[in-house]
Amino acid sequence: MVVDHADVLRLVAGGAVVVDVLPAREYERSHIRGAVHFPLARVIADARLRLPHEAPIVVYCRDTL
Helices in the chain by DSSP H: which ranges?
5-13, 24-29, 43-50
> Which tens digit of pLDDT belongs to each residue from 12-25?
999 999 998 888 89
Domains, the chain, with CATH or none: 5-60 (3.40.250.10)
Under-70 pLDDT residues of the chain? 63-65
Q: For the chain, give me the number of helices (H) and strands (E)?
A: 3, 3
The rounded Cα 2 to chain-centroid distance in angstroms is 13
Model pTM greater than 0.85?
A: no
Largest CA distance in the chain: 32
